């Protein structure tokens, strides 16, 4: 309803009505409405109206909300108006052209000839808008940019000198009442010209050279006492930074920014900090000079300024000033708003990592961050920190002592508690024996240590991840502590029935470790080796047993039911494979190998890598399958697939079937391969082969054959049949060539 009213008003002859109509259209309609199509005609008529004000109105509306169709239709009119002598119209037409170009970039060429004369105007309004038009054209199209930079055919002057001339006139001319704003003539125009110069001069030596003088002039002559002058200077500085200016000019620019920083006006300081942030990459040394001022800005009340100052400070930290800067930044971390704390903490970690003068300082700094802003620290900081601690071997005693003291008082900050529990678990013996050199050693008994870990476990404030850390730490201490093993056993068994699944699982495993595999406990819970930082996660599909070349006779038991998270598998994978660091190591593998004579404790193989099974995607490449064994009613077929991701891996799926009248139970398949191969056996589908070929057991074997040798395999089968245990050895030689070539 309203739209029609608008139209009616626009179409009327009276100026005031038109006025209201256009206003309404501009305010409330947008190009998505259909009615504007109807408006097109009206606008067209009005553009040719005799009264300039009507024309101006039409231009205005078109400029604001014209859709691309409207623009296409009316571009011709606009262009005509661009050439008129009426300056009122020209300036509006210029901005309208800007809008047209934005909507329909192809029409840019149409406006090109008109722009030639635009800069010869005296009228500042026209000048201003034409500069805007030129800016828009240059931004949109690199061709235009090149065109404007070169010498133009007819007119004698290039664009840049023209602009420079205009700018010079503006600065040099005396007081001009028309355009004056607080003593500076037409600052808006100056700013615009500067911006256009910036675009023209970017990456272009010639243009930049032409501009150097004028920029220096503007920079030195402009009065800085008022905001206006500062606005111009700001724009000048930005321009100097962007074009290929000579170094003297750049230093001048940075000095201006430095002066801004000392100014009392917040706006100016903000602007200065922003620009310094942009330039710090390129002109690092010059910005360093203003470091102390920047650091002072950290204490400012204003949030935007503080944020800028913080970012800039991080950019300025280097080997020389790191101690001083860190002090300031840590102080800032204490007192700043929560929204900054996470960023600040990460920044401090990064800077400390790069420039730490000594390990002890590094650890101290990190501890300070953890204690002050512990809950805001990002999650990945914990593994990084742990890796750092492991690597600084000589600091272990000192670190663990400090961490212990820290959580004695307060164990609510999760990252701190996690790191502390981990360290206590690893280095608890150092703590108890009081060996610290750097600091006054404290006397701690084993019971006290266990007390604190237990309270972490019990506390409501601890997240379940933290509890996991604590439990693992307690477990590790069982090998390091001598007198309190029973207590540890008790704690572990309590958590065997915890509600938290993760915790329960760990407790159950640790219990198992105590009961059945006590002999292996020390080996498993040994100290962590120094970890290398590898950032990418190795592929989970192919598992390479590091450095194992003996024939690995692997036997796998069926996986225990229920809780077997893939993460556990990955943890051990990581330990031996050296990929991503997770500090939840070492955990006990869930199935134990029954030694079949001298095999290595292949932890990797033991992990029924159920995760791997699902992760592997196999391509059947049409390799013929073979019957590997066929005796006494037991038939084993091999089907082959080559892995898509690794051409030296062959995946063999065996299928065992039973043609006798009785089931075969406790079926176990073992395989051995020559030295040049590596073998991996995944868990079978079951251990019973039903009679009468009514079902099969499937199992997957992966063979890594990097040297592409002829595949050979020796297999051993054990099973119970008709009440007696049967065992057989066989050799498989009939592998098809496609399976290993």
User: DSSP of 315-370, one letter per residue?
Assistant: HH--TTTHHHHHHHHHHHHHHS-HHHHHHHHHHHHHHHHHH-SSHHHHHHHHHHHH
| 649 backbone dihedrals φ, ψ, rounded to 5° | -105, 130
CB of 566 to another protein, least distance (A): 40
User: DSSP of 90-144, one letter per residue?
Assistant: HHHHHHHHHHHHHH-GGGHHHHHHHHTTGGG---HHHHHHHHHHHHHHHHH-HHH
Residues that bind another protein (CB under 8 A): 15-16, 19-20, 23, 26-28, 30-32, 53, 56, 60, 63-65, 88, 91-92, 95-96, 98-99, 124-125, 128-129, 132, 178-179, 181, 186-188, 191-192, 195, 227-228, 230-231, 234-235, 238, 266-271, 301-305
Question: Is 296 or 728 the residue whose CB approaches another protein more closely?
Answer: 296
Question: Is 92 or 702 the residue whose CB approaches another protein more closely?
Answer: 92
108, 99 Cβ separation under 8 angstroms: no
Question: Is 89 or 668 the residue whose CB approaches another protein more closely?
Answer: 89
Tokens for 577? 């494979």
Separation CA 220–CA 237 (nearest Å):
11
CB of 325 to another protein, least distance (A): 24
| 445 backbone dihedrals φ, ψ, rounded to 5° | -100, 165
Separation CA 133–CA 102 (nearest Å):
11
Question: Is 302 or 454 the residue whose CB approaches another protein more closely?
Answer: 302
CB of 59 to another protein, least distance (A): 8
Question: Is 304 or 544 the residue whose CB approaches another protein more closely?
Answer: 304
CB of 27 to another protein, least distance (A): 7
User: DSSP of 50-71, one letter per residue?
Assistant: SSHHHHHHHHHHHHHH--HHHH
Separation CA 59–CA 432 (nearest Å):
84
Question: Is 8 or 631 the residue whose CB approaches another protein more closely?
Answer: 8
CB burial of 62-88 (b: ≥16 within 10 Å; e: otherwise) equals bbbbbbeebbbbbbebbbebbeeeebb
- The three-state secondary structure class of 664 is strand
CB of 178 to another protein, least distance (A): 5
CB of 32 to another protein, least distance (A): 8
Question: Is 129 or 484 the residue whose CB approaches another protein more closely?
Answer: 129
Tokens for 75? 């571009």
**CA 548, 541, 559: angle at the middle one, nearest 5?**
80
| Helices 142-149 & 159-172 angle (0-180, nearest 10) | 70
Torsion angle in degrees (nearest 10) through CA of 686, 688, 692, 698: 30
CB of 363 to another protein, least distance (A): 36
CB of 183 to another protein, least distance (A): 13
Question: Is 60 or 662 the residue whose CB approaches another protein more closely?
Answer: 60
CB of 42 to another protein, least distance (A): 18
Tokens for 18? 């038109």
- The three-state secondary structure class of 450 is helix
CB of 175 to another protein, least distance (A): 15
Question: Is 294 or 628 the residue whose CB approaches another protein more closely?
Answer: 294
| 149 backbone dihedrals φ, ψ, rounded to 5° | -80, -35
CB-based contacts of 534: which residues, under 8 Å, 6+ apart? 578, 579, 580, 581
CB of 131 to another protein, least distance (A): 10
CB of 226 to another protein, least distance (A): 9
Question: Is 182 or 433 the residue whose CB approaches another protein more closely?
Answer: 182
Question: Is 87 or 375 the residue whose CB approaches another protein more closely?
Answer: 87
Separation CA 283–CA 247 (nearest Å):
10
**Residue 251's CB: how many other CB atoms inside 10 A?**
15
CB of 43 to another protein, least distance (A): 15
Question: Is 53 or 617 the residue whose CB approaches another protein more closely?
Answer: 53
For the four alpha carbons of 123, 128, 130 and 134, in that order, the dihedral sign comes to positive
**Which of 508, 682, 668 minimizes the C-alpha distance to 590?**
508
80, 55 Cβ separation under 8 angstroms: no
Separation CA 209–CA 263 (nearest Å):
31
Question: Is 270 or 376 the residue whose CB approaches another protein more closely?
Answer: 270
């Amino acid at each position: 309803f309203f739209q029609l009213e608008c139209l009616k008003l626009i179409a009327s002859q009276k100026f005031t009505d038109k006025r209201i109509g256009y206003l309404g259209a501009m305010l409330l309609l947008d190009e998505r409405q259909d009615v504007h199509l109807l408006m097109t005609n009206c606008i067209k008529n009005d553009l040719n109206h005799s009264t300039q004000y009507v024309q101006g109105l039409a231009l205005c509306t078109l400029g604001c909300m014209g859709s691309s169709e409207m623009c296409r239709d009316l571009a011709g009119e606009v262009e005509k108006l661009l050439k008129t002598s009426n300056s009122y119209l020209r300036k509006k037409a210029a901005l309208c052209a800007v809008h047209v170009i934005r909507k329909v970039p192809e029409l840019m060429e149409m406006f090109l000839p008109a722009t030639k004369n635009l800069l010869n105007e005296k009228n500042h309004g026209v000048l201003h808008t034409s500069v805007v038009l030129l800016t828009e054209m240059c931004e949109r199209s690199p061709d235009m940019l090149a065109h404007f930079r070169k010498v133009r055919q007819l007119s004698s002057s290039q664009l840049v000198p023209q602009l420079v001339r205009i700018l010079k006139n503006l600065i040099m001319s005396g007081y001009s009442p028309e355009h004056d704003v607080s003593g500076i003539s037409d600052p808006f125009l100056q700013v615009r010209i500067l911006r256009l110069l910036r675009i023209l001069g970017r990456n272009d030596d010639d243009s930049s050279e032409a501009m150097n003088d004028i920029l220096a002039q503007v920079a030195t002559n402009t009065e800085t006492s008022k905001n206006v002058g500062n606005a111009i200077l700001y724009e000048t500085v930005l321009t100097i930074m962007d074009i290929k200016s000579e170094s003297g000019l750049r230093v001048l620019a940075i000095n201006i920014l430095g002066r801004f920083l000392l100014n009392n006006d917040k706006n100016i300081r903000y602007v200065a900090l922003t620009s310094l942030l942009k330039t710090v990459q390129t002109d690092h040394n010059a910005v360093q000079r203003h470091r102390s001022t920047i650091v002072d800005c950290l204490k400012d009340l204003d949030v935007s300024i503080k944020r800028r100052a913080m970012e800039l400070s991080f950019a300025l930290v280097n080997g020389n000033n790191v101690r001083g800067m860190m002090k300031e930044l840590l102080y800032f971390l204490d007192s700043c708003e929560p929204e900054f704390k996470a960023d600040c903490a990460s920044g401090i970690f990064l800077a400390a990592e790069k420039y730490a003068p000594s390990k002890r300082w590094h650890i101290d700094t990190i501890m300070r961050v953890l204690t002050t802003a512990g809950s805001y620290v990002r999650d990945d900081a914990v593994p990084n920190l742990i890796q750092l601690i492991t690597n600084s071997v000589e600091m272990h005693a000192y670190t663990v002592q400090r961490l212990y003291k820290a959580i004695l008082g307060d164990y609510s900050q999760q990252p701190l508690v996690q790191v502390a529990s981990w360290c206590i678990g690893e280095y608890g013996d150092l703590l108890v024996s009081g060996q610290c050199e750097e600091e006054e050693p404290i006397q701690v008994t084993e019971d006290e240590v266990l007390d604190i870990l237990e309270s972490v476990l019990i506390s409501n404030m601890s997240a379940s991840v933290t509890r996991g850390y604590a439990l693992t730490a307690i477990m590790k201490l069982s090998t390091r502590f001598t007198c309190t093993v029973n207590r540890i056993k008790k704690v572990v068994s309590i958590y065997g029935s915890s509600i938290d699944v993760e915790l329960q699982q760990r407790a159950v495993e640790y219990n198992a470790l105590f009961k059945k595999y006590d002999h292996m406990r020390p080996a498993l819970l040994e100290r962590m080796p120094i970890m290398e930082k590898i950032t990418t996660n190795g592929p989970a599909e192919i598992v390479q047993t590091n450095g194992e070349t003996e024939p690995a006779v692997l036997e796998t038991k069926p996986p225990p039911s229920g809780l077997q998270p893939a993460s556990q598998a990955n943890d051990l994978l990581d330990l031996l494979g050296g990929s991503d660091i997770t500090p939840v190591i070492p955990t006990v593998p869930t199935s134990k190998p029954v030694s079949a004579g001298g095999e290595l404790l292949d932890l990797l193989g033991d992990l029924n890598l159920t995760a791997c099974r699902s992760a592997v995607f196999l391509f059947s490449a049409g390799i013929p399958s073979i019957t590997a064994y066929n005796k006494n009613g037991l038939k084993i077929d091999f089907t082959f697939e080559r892995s898509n991701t690794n051409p030296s891996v062959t995946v063999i799926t065996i299928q065992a079937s039973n043609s006798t009248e009785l089931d075969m139970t406790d079926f176990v398949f073992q395989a051995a391969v020559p030295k040049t191969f590596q073998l991996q056996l995944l868990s079978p589908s079951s251990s019973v082969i039903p009679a009468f070929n009514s079902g099969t057991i499937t199992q997957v074997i992966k063979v890594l054959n990097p040297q592409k040798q002829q595949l050979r395999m020796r297999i051993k089968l054990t099973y119970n049949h008709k009440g007696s245990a049967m065992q057989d050895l066989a050799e498989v030689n009939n592998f098809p060539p496609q399976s290993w070539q």
